[in-house]
Amino acid sequence: MDIPVVAILGNVGWHEYCRNTSGSYTYSRGPLEEHEVTAPIRVDLRPELDCPNPIAKIWQRPSLDLNLPDDNIRGLFEGASDGGSTKGHPWVEGEELRSTDSVGLNVYLRVLQAQGAIVERQG
């Protein structure tokens, strides 16, 4: 069974990001109409995209990885050769994030909010 986690509204409509209950994969679906969105967290990126160079913001932010624990970050090669875990490590406020990093849900939401996105939690 798939569980919708977060829905993101950009210039082309809503996209919903989901987890599989077994934790074996994640996926996104969209574009969706607002009435089709079932995720409990909704993010409006339109304010973030209303700036002189929105593409730079998008390319500079880390990637959402719903397989990571929600408060974790994983560097590009972390867990490959340095003995680290493929689940990354807990993110510490102020720790630099790179575009090559993968981040859990809560870290990703903080990045988006810092860039000007509006985050709403339903129910």
pLDDT at 82: 58
11-38 residue pLDDT tens: 889 999 999 887 767 888 999 999 999 9
Residues with Cβ < 8 Å from 16, sequence gap 6 or more?
A: 4, 6, 7, 8, 28, 29, 30, 32, 37, 38, 39
Q: Would you state the pLDDT for residue 80?
A: 67
Note the pTM of the prediction, 2 decimals: 0.88
Contact 64, 58 (CB under 8 A): no
Number of H helices, E strands in the chain: 3, 9
| pLDDT of the residue at 68 | 92
**Highest mean pLDDT: which of 43-52, 78-87, 107-116?**
107-116
Closest CA to 112 of 40, 63, 79: 63
Which amino acid, one-letter code, is at 48?
A: E
Q: Is the pLDDT of residue 8 over 90?
A: yes
Residue 48 pLDDT exceeds 90: no
pLDDT digits (tens, 9 = 90+) for 53-108: 777 778 889 999 999 999 999 998 877 665 667 789 999 988 999 999 999 999 99
Instruction: Evaluate whether 106 touches 113 at the Cβ level (below 8 Å).
Output: no
- Tell me the β-bridge partners of 8: 15, 43
Predicted pLDDT of residue 104: 96
